[in-house]
Amino acid sequence: MLKRDDLAVKNLGVPQYDSPLDGFTNTKEHKIKYISDEDRFLFLSSEKKLNEYVEKLKNKKDDEEIIPSFEKAGPRQKIYFKPGETISAVVTCGGLCPGLNSVIRALVYMNYYRYNNRLMYGIRYGYEGFIDKYDHSIINLTPDVVENIHKLGGTILGSSRGPQNEDEIVDKLVKLKVNILYVIGGDGTLRGASKIVEAIERRNLKISVIGIPKTIDNDIAYIDKSFGSETAFSKACTAIESAHTEAKGAMNGIGIVKVMGRHSGFIAANATLATNDVNFVLVPEIKFELDGEKGFLAALKKRFQHSNHAVILVAEGAGQEYFENMEKKYDPSGNEKLNDIGLFLKDKIKEYLASEGISTSVKYIDPSYIIRSTPPTPNDSIFCLQLAQRAVHAGMSGKTDIVIGYLGGEYVHLPIKLAISERKKLEPESELWLSVLDSTGQPISFINE
Question: Which residues are marked as active site?
Answer: 217
- The closest alpha carbon to 411, from 432, 395, 388, belongs to 388
- Measure the CA–CA gap between 221 and 21, rounded to whole angstroms: 32
